[in-house]
Amino acid sequence: MLLGRTDAGVHSLGQVANFKTNSNIEIEKIPYALNSKLKKSIVIKNAEEVEERFHARYNCKRKTYMYVINNSKFGTAIYRDLEYHLPIKLDVAKMKKAIKYFEGEHDFAGFKASGTSSKSSVREIYKGEIIEENERIKIKLTGNGFLYNMVRIIAGTLVDVGLR
């Protein structure tokens, strides 16, 4: 089985995987069969036949990552493991201005964790957004790919901008 990857500790929506099978199960019944065997934290929503050369990781055209900051005084128990809590108020206007500098094709060598195995650190960010919803600040980046911990490092940089 091949899977589009994401960093450890990152939660995923819309992840794509592919595998070869000789099963006689009808394609529309594959999600039911797989879901009956998977952990409750994983749900297969769709299955479709693709060309044999398709690769979930290398044929991906774009990825979107969203980093969520709970900018409230106390945070939340329910979403504790799904968002970063920072009780110090951030200057969202500055963050919105700064995220635009990441758009375009750049060498993101300074925004990757050590041990990254990628051959090139050049990536293109198609769109960067800061979305403010009540006391949550969402950092949303869409691009052609991301380096190991790149989004976390960009998010940290934007938080630093918002603190100044």
Question: Does residue 19 contact residue 32 with C-beta atoms inside 8 Å?
Answer: no
Tokens at 116, concatenated: 């990254």
- The full length of the chain comes to 164
- Asked if 81 is an active-site residue, the reply is no
**How many Cα atoms within 13 Å fall on the side-chain side of residue 15?**
14
| Nearest in space to 96 (alpha carbons), one of 65, 134, 62, 132 | 132
Exactly one of 7, 81, 91, 160 is catalytic; name it: 7
The b/e string for 84-113 (b: 16+ C-beta within 10 A; e otherwise) is: bebeeebebeebbebbeebbeeeebeebbe
Catalytic residue ranges: 7
